[in-house]
Each structure stands twice: as structure tokens, then as C-alpha cells.
Structure 1
Amino acid sequence: MLSRNVYPQTRPGKWSVLLLLAVFVLLLVSALIVQSAQPFNFDTLFDNTWAAIVSMLAIAAALGAFVVGVYTILRNHERSVAVFFTVSLGGLVALFVLMQLFL
């Protein structure tokens, strides 16, 4: 049985991990949408409206997981590995978004 420090114990911690799982599911759905539209030869992601919407939802979920994870660590003193992993991946997505906006 795994240690207590692996899974989050607080409600916001569980939301943070669920949002991260939603990111992976949304990215998988986006990839499936893009693969199903191969005969149409779209040049960019934004030529396919559904894939763009799902990808933007994945980015929003990743940023939400980051914010909720940081809140959980600071306010509720959550110390689970899953929440720290969520914050690190969400932070990478936030860094990527900021670099795309300002560089």
C-alpha cells in the first residue's frame, strides 16, 4: 500500500490532480481530432476549430491545476507528491504560455 504522502488529502488537492488528468484526456482527444482530419490537410492547429477548442481547454485546465495546486500547498499545507507533480507540470505550461505571449 502506498504511503499517505502520495495521494492528496484535501479537496482542493484532489481537484488539482483531477484537472491534471483532464489535461491529458483533452490532449488525447485533440490528437484524435487532428488525426481524424488528416485527409483535409490543415496547415495549422487553428484551421481545425474543434481541435483548437479542445487544445485551449487543455491549456486552461493545466493553468487551473497549477493555480489550485499552489493554493492547496500554501493555504491547506498539502504535501502530497501528486500535488507537487501537478504544480510542476502546470508551472511548465504557465511558463510556456508566458514565453509565447512575451517573447
Structure 2
Amino acid sequence: MLSRNVYPQTRPGKWSVLLLLAVFSLLIVFALIVQSGQPFNLDTLFDNGWAAVVSILAIAAAFGAFIVGLYTIFRNHERSAAVFFTVSIGGLVALFVLMQLFL
């Protein structure tokens, strides 16, 4: 039977999971900012400064979680399910951003 930890054991693994939790909390803050009753005549995301800052921070945190997660998997041999989940979500965000930029 395969024995695998659910929670990370190394410090970078814990940082990776915390960054992913920061992504989800920033997305909740982003949704609250958008639904806060501001006028809806905004053409782009950057017309609403607070929403733009929070969304860019969420994307940066997702990239950070992906990079730190890969580091801790390959360098520290972390094998926890939470770190693999973090790397997969961060990789999907990175793929989405790259596809938006280049396609």
C-alpha cells in the first residue's frame, strides 16, 4: 500500500501550500471588491485599481506557489498530496496566463 503524507513536512512545502491559500483568499477579496456596488461602466480590469492590484497579486501568488512547489518536490523530495495539488493548480494558472499572452 502506498503511504503518502497529506500535509507537507518541509518548510518550502508549507510555504507552497500557504501561497495557494493566499491565492484563494485573494480571489475572495477580488470577488468582494467587484460586488461592492461600484459602477459597472468599467471597460477593462485596470479601470478598477483595487481589483487590478488584488488580481495581479493572486496571479503572482499562484506563480510563486508553483515555483516553490516544484523546488520542494525536486530539491527537498517532498511527496505530500498538498504540494502536488499546489503544483497542479499553480501550473494550470501559469498555463492559462501564458496562453492568454501568446495566443
When normalised by structure 1's length, the TM-score is: 0.92
Does residue 70 (structure 1) correspond to residue 70 (structure 2)? The answer is yes
Give the root-mean-square deviation of aligned CA atoms.
1.2
1:19-53 CA-to-partner distances (Å, cap 9, x unmatched) read: 00000000000110010034x11233221110010
1:59 shift after superposition: 0.1
Report the count of equivalent residues: 100
Which residue number corresponds to residue 28 of structure 1?
A: 28
Match of 2:11 in 1: 11
- Cα pair 2:20 2:61 within 8 Å, conserved: yes
Other structure's SS at 1:97 match: helix
| Alignment map for 1:24-103 (pairs within 5 Å) | 24-38=24-38, 40-41=39-40, 42-103=42-103
Gaps of 5+ in 1: none
How far 1:100 sits from its partner (Å)?
Answer: 0.8
Query: Could you tell me which amino acid in structure 2 is paired with residue 68 of structure 1?
Result: V
> How far apart in 2 are the matches of 1:86 and 1:30?
20
More helix by share: 1
Percentage identity across aligned positions?
84
Which amino acid in structure 1 is aligned with residue 89 of structure 2?
L
Q: TM-score, normalised by structure 2?
A: 0.92
- How many Å separate the matches in 2 of 1:88 and 1:37? 34
